Amino acid sequence: MSQMNHLPAIVRMQLVYKVALGALPLAIGTVNQSPQLLPERELKFLAADIGRRNDDSFAVLGIRMMTEMRDSGAVAFIGPDDSCRAEALVAAAWNLPLISYKCEDPEVSDRKVYYTFARTLPPTSKVSKSVVALLKSFGWTKVVVVCVTRRAWSEQLKEFLTKHNILVTDTYTVNDYIPIFESKLDDIVTATYFRTRVYIFVGEHIALVDFVKCLQKRKLLYTGDYVIVSVDDIIYDPRKRKDITQRTYIDPYLPDRNMSQDVKFGFQSVLKLTPTHVKNPNFEQICERIKKYSVQSPFCVPYHSHIFKTIAMPIQAAHLYDAVMIYARAATEILEKGGDPRNGSAILSRIRNRSYHSVQGYDVFIDENGDAEGNFTVVSLLDDEEANGTIKMSLQPVGYFHYSENDSIDIPIFRYINPKKGIQWVGEGPPKAEPECGFGGELCREDVIDDLDDKLTKIYDLRDWRLHLALSAATGLVVVAGVFAFKHYRYEQKLACILWKIELKDLTMIPSDAGDCCPEKSVVYLGEPGCTPRAHTRVALHRESMVAVKPIYKKTVDITRSIRKELKQIREVRHENLINFVGAVVEPGAIFIVTGYCARGSLQDILKNEDLRLDTMFVSSLVADLLRGMIYLHDSDIVSHGNLRSSNCLVDSRWVLQISDFGLHEFKAGQEEPDHETKELHRKLYRAPELLRSSTSLPRGSQRGDIYSFALVLYEIMTRRNPWEDTLMSSQEIIQSIVQGQKLRPSLSSLKGVSDYVLKCIESCWHEEPDARPDMKLVSVILKPMQAGLRANIFDNMLAIMEKYACNLEGIVQQRTNELVEEKKKTDALLHRMLPKTVADALKRGDPVEAESFDCVTIYFSDIVGFTQLSADSTPLQVVTMLNELYTCCDYIISHYDVYKVETIGDAYMVVSGLPIRNGAKHAGEIASMALHILRRIRKFELPHKPGEGLKIRIGIHSGQCVAGVVGLKMPRYCLFGDTVNTASRMESSGLPLKVHMSEATWTLLQKLGGYQAEERGLVHIKGKGEMKTYWLTGEDPLCRQNRIFESNSHFHHSHYGSLCSLSEDRLTETPDLLRRTNLAEFLGDNKASATGDLLFSRRDLHLRAVRACCYRTNEELIYYSTTGRSHRSAPAIALTDMMTNY
């Protein structure tokens, strides 16, 4: 199957929007599985995240990514979102198709310039067509546009309305709306309600609710004279049609139920224009698959089941899916005609002026400019007896938009879904565009202005200047008093506002078993692979955003006027380097402060993380952020922090430092914190001396006190250590010394390599006299040289920091990988001691290990004579120590032979040869030689707890057929089964101490091998077997075993000498032949003789003496065996050779 190269996707990942990106791999998979689309070809994709566009620097990054993708063989581009003018122009220059699913730029609709561009997201002009159709249907020719999304929306909408003879009297924009901006909406209503009857509102539902409340405050929606045409990009869901009249859907924080009812009544005057509801019955299943793809590479959206259940799939997911499908359809047609799928103009010719079937379940038309027309529905409140609450109404579709077949008419026609039902207006019918007499009555009384001029003329014709002066003064006083009264009223209204309040049920707490983040956390180190718990902070989800939840240890909080003032102040504080206050939970037994979430945790934890290297750029950036935040805080109504510490300086995912835990001092007062004394001691370590000595100091501290705390934080940043770490005093002693007047400060000797201006700044900031300390603005000037390495462009600076962070991560990942490899070697070595290597490797691969039958193997059993009495005469610890030394000795011996230790049970020792790796007929010889070796060593063995007293063992061996396999899943064991096992056990139990008892089958095999001596025992009654002829194994000729080893491995020549150098346990374990050769050398070394008569060292001796330059080498020469007194040609022996010159 040929490959279709790559289909790149250029995206800017945002929190909730990331989930939609899973539609890309889902669509790619659908195309590759469809025999009708791109047959015999495979479509692949690349993805690049270029951030959220704030300036032209992001366009440069986008073009750079596009260039790299084109060089990698890209055939088309999907994306980007937000602005796409630059990318579309570059794609046109390359003649490559670019299909966007989220871009709203109006300029790219010019097909003469952007002739390879198309989009599945209907642009603003398409929505504007439906808005114009709705306005014209009811004769609304004068409107006010209120837009709470982007300014481009309001400008484009105003331009389109004006083009179609609809007068836009005012246009207002509120960017990035949050509930704190409700006063701005109130100001808009105040300035416009007497000049219009029709509002066009573009924004989210939460902003629409606040706008309706502002109109209802003035009772404007009761009479039916006003109407709101709301434009929203959230798809209407008929399953939630009843939610619109529910208190929690309108606004759960309304102060009283009556006002909630007012807002519900107000929604009868709202006509919502939304994308048509999805008609595909399988769309929910598709959304679930999209979520699953989004957590996979390359998007890797952090997955948590609690979060994914609450996140609604953005409409962009459907647009992204459709973008891939319409490209695949067009490319298929091009290929069928023998064309090039990279020809952008040809691809677009098969996309424009055509309809496609959307994954949403209906057809969408793409016009001649490459813009999707979109399908829109008008929904409004209608009677519904099934609705909950006192208002028996629910949100239902009332109209749609029909396009005429006449191409000259580009505006659709608004039609009712049910003409008999229509729309349930509050009044007798739809509101009028303006009152009959005009907004000021000017259409009914033309002489109003003349009458007003006559009255003013009479007033100014008065001759008495004293009267003039008195009237002017009185008027001025009234005006001033009125202004002050109005401001006071507004201020009190803001204090009474409880938009800060959050209900606990609106917080989705992330439990402690979360897979991608922790519920209680301080910092997530290095790309968030883990987390460190903190008892005072939890992580939750609020309105699809991650937030930090800090508990306040109080049973209740009385919301007094002063506390309302604190809440108002902190809600109005907005700065990039100050933590965002989201709200507070005030419920019986549950008092929480909810703030923005910083993924990387606190500065204190980052400084403690030794794996993270903080170079000059990182340090400069953190200090600059800290200064900017403190300067803004000191200039605000909050005045001072009062508790500045490194643990209260948080770092978000973009490495931007944000200051937290400021303000709300009265709200937090009177807490019963767990471990309060320890926490208070830690706070006091950062507190200024004058505040520690004062008994009347307020929790808010002072600005000069913040300067002192800043000096300690700066010291901590420079040293990456606790400021008081070098002081050999406890926290209590340090605080007590400062309170008593001692000028105690951290040692400056730790600040080695720090610039002099930084040292002087720290010294001046922690000066004993508060007035001698500089303010924050002066500190910023003093530390300005520190920022020399920072880029002027914010994006470039952030990108540089992230690049350094990525490099640091690469080093740490490599280090961790090396540590993992070493641990894996240790684990494998341990596993190979428990199971045969072939079996262990099969289990690691997940392969089934089936039982295997072996025609002939030799099994060894041994048992300690008198073990029961010995155990009775010894303590359990002595028995364990004795068995450990005995079996350690045996384990060392068997490593010299081609055998496998099966198990030890009490004093029984079981060994086998010939499995799991077959070794021909040598298994009998290996067991026999091993048994004699063990017997020789046992004769010299002494009991550890009974010096001078030895042990006696019985040994039995037998050869025959058996079956071997792994038994069990937990602690699996490699076991042997068959009559051979039982017979070998009977050979041991019927033997004599310090003798090797073997069966006739084993002796027959040994005779064939040669080199072994035995005595016939005769017929012996064996339990379960009857009479059997058995033998005593008495000795062997070592050279016969040498010959067998080297004759069976004659392929091992001088070319393999190098592999014998620097032998390791792993190398020997992986090479059985090499292991046997090495063991032979050890055997000769243990017997203190070699073929040349020289003393040989064993491998154990080599390891103990660390002789790394020595090797075991084969030596195929005539060897003279010195003990015989005569020469003869023998098999190649192994000699120990000094290889220092050849190493």
- Full DSSP string of 443-474: TT-TTHHHHHHHHHHHHHT---HHHHHHHHHH
- H or E, element range at 918: none
The two tokens of residue 838 are 């072939």
- Over residues 606-625, the mean pLDDT reads 84
What is the amino acid identity at position 221? Answer: L
Helix-helix angle 283-294:23-33, to 10 degrees: 110
What is the amino acid identity at position 66? Answer: M
In degrees, rounded to 5, the angle at the alpha carbon of residue 819 between the alpha carbons of residues 817 and 824 is: 90
Which range, of 64-68, 596-600, 1122-1126, averages the lowest pLDDT?
Answer: 1122-1126
* Three-state DSSP class for residue 636: coil
Give the pLDDT confidence score for residue 216 in this predicted structure: 86
In 918-1025, the DSSP E strands lie at: 942-943, 946-950, 953-967, 973-977, 995-999, 1012-1022
| pLDDT tens digits, one per residue of 831-885 | 777 777 777 777 777 777 778 889 899 999 999 888 888 888 888 898 898 888 8
- Over residues 712-735, the mean pLDDT reads 90
Cα separation of 751 and 239, whole Å? Answer: 65
| pLDDT tens digits, one per residue of 1040-1073 | 887 777 766 544 433 333 333 334 444 444 444 4
Find tokens 């990525």 and name the residue.
Answer: 806
Cα separation of 744 and 724, whole Å? Answer: 10
Hey, which of 803-807, 882-886, 955-959, 970-974 has the most confident mean pLDDT? Answer: 955-959
Find tokens 């103009």 and name the residue.
Answer: 345
Give the pLDDT confidence score for residue 94 in this predicted structure: 94
Please give the residue that has the higher pLDDT: either 1125 or 375.
375
Please give the residue that has the higher pLDDT: either 1080 or 121.
121
pLDDT band with cut points at 50, 70 and 90 for residue 1075: very low
Give the pLDDT confidence score for residue 450 in this predicted structure: 55
Give the pLDDT confidence score for residue 776 in this predicted structure: 93
Instruction: Say if residue 131's pLDDT is above 60.
Output: yes
Distance (Å) of CA 837 to CA 635, 828, 841, 842, 932: 71, 9, 6, 9, 26
What is the amino acid identity at position 227? Answer: V
Sheet containing strand 508-509, edge to edge, reads 508-509, 538-542, 545-551, 590-596, 581-587
pLDDT band with cut points at 50, 70 and 90 for residue 143: very high
Domains of the chain: 2-122+282-374 (3.40.50.2300), 124-280+377-416 (3.40.50.2300), 446-491 (no CATH), 504-790 (1.10.510.10), 835-1036 (3.30.70.1230), 1041-1138 (no CATH)
Helices (H), 51-150: 56-71, 85-94, 124-137
Instruction: Say if residue 1039's pLDDT is above 70.
Output: yes
Give the pLDDT confidence score for residue 802 in this predicted structure: 63
Question: Which residues lie closer than 8 Å to 1104 by C-beta, 6 or more apart?
Answer: none
Cα separation of 743 and 763, whole Å? Answer: 12
| pLDDT tens digits, one per residue of 425-434 | 888 889 998 8
Give the pLDDT confidence score for residue 1074 in this predicted structure: 45
Residue % of the chain over a pLDDT of 90:
25
- Count CB atoms within 10 A of the CB of residue 530: 12
Give the pLDDT confidence score for residue 819 in this predicted structure: 79
Please give the residue that has the higher pLDDT: either 558 or 1126.
558
Cα separation of 465 and 442, whole Å? Answer: 35
First to last CA, the chain: 51
Cα separation of 1060 and 1042, whole Å? Answer: 18
Find tokens 């040292």 and name the residue.
Answer: 759
Instruction: Say if residue 1112's pLDDT is above 90.
Output: no
Find tokens 């289909």 and name the residue.
Answer: 7
The two tokens of residue 526 are 């290095």
Cα separation of 498 and 571, whole Å? Answer: 11
Judge whether 334 and 4 are in contact, CB under 8 Å.
no
DSSP codes of every residue in 1044-1071: HHHHTTTT--GGGGGGGBS--HHHHHH-
Give the pLDDT confidence score for residue 814 in this predicted structure: 75
What is the sign, positive or negative, of the torsion defined by CA atoms of 159, 161, 163, 168? Answer: negative
pLDDT band with cut points at 50, 70 and 90 for residue 1102: very low
What is the amino acid identity at position 919? Answer: N
Which region, left, alpha or beta, applies to residue 219 given φ > 0 means left and ψ of -120 to 50 means alpha? left
Give the pLDDT confidence score for residue 960 in this predicted structure: 93
Hey, which of 320-334, 643-657, 672-686 has the most confident mean pLDDT? Answer: 320-334
Give the pLDDT confidence score for residue 259 in this predicted structure: 44
Picking from 268, 171, 136, the residue whose alpha carbon sits closest to that of residue 212 is 268
For the chain, give the mean pLDDT.
78
Hey, which of 346-350, 373-377, 832-836 has the most confident mean pLDDT? Answer: 346-350
Which phi and psi angles does 509 have, rounded to 5°?
-65, 135
In degrees, rounded to 5, the angle at the alpha carbon of residue 278 between the alpha carbons of residues 277 and 281 is: 135
Give the pLDDT confidence score for residue 955 in this predicted structure: 93
Picking from 748, 753, 750, 754, the residue whose alpha carbon sits closest to that of residue 783 is 754
Instruction: Say if residue 804's pLDDT is above 80.
Output: no
Picking from 178, 199, 238, the residue whose alpha carbon sits closest to that of residue 431 is 199
Which range, of 151-155, 232-236, 1069-1073, 1105-1109, averages the lowest pLDDT?
Answer: 1105-1109
User: Of how many residues is the chain composed?
Assistant: 1143
Give the pLDDT confidence score for residue 399 in this predicted structure: 92
* Three-state DSSP class for residue 785: helix
Please give the residue that has the higher pLDDT: either 684 or 175.
684
Give the pLDDT confidence score for residue 528 in this predicted structure: 36
pLDDT band with cut points at 50, 70 and 90 for residue 152: low
Instruction: Say if residue 59's pLDDT is above 90.
Output: no
Which region, left, alpha or beta, applies to residue 330 given φ > 0 means left and ψ of -120 to 50 means alpha? alpha
Give the pLDDT confidence score for residue 227 in this predicted structure: 94
Which phi and psi angles does 948 have, rounded to 5°?
85, -10
Give the pLDDT confidence score for residue 409 in this predicted structure: 59
| pLDDT tens digits, one per residue of 248-273 | 344 443 444 444 566 667 888 999 99
- Count CB atoms within 10 A of the CB of residue 317: 26
Judge whether 823 and 795 are in contact, CB under 8 Å.
no
How does strand 98-100 pair with strand 117-119?
parallel
Residue % of the chain over a pLDDT of 70:
76
Give the pLDDT confidence score for residue 831 in this predicted structure: 74
Which range, of 391-405, 553-567, 1082-1096, averages the lowest pLDDT?
Answer: 1082-1096
Question: Which residues lie closer than 8 Å to 874 by C-beta, 6 or more apart?
Answer: 882, 945
Give the pLDDT confidence score for residue 388 in this predicted structure: 64
Question: Which residues lie closer than 8 Å to 1013 by C-beta, 6 or more apart?
Answer: 1033, 1034, 1035, 1036
203-229 per-residue burial string, b: 16 or more CB within 10 A, e: under 16: beeebbbbbbbbbbeeebbbeeebbbb
The two tokens of residue 1044 are 């067998």
Judge whether 322 and 356 are in contact, CB under 8 Å.
yes
Beta partners for residue 1020, in sequence order: 1028
Picking from 125, 104, 176, the residue whose alpha carbon sits closest to that of residue 147 is 176
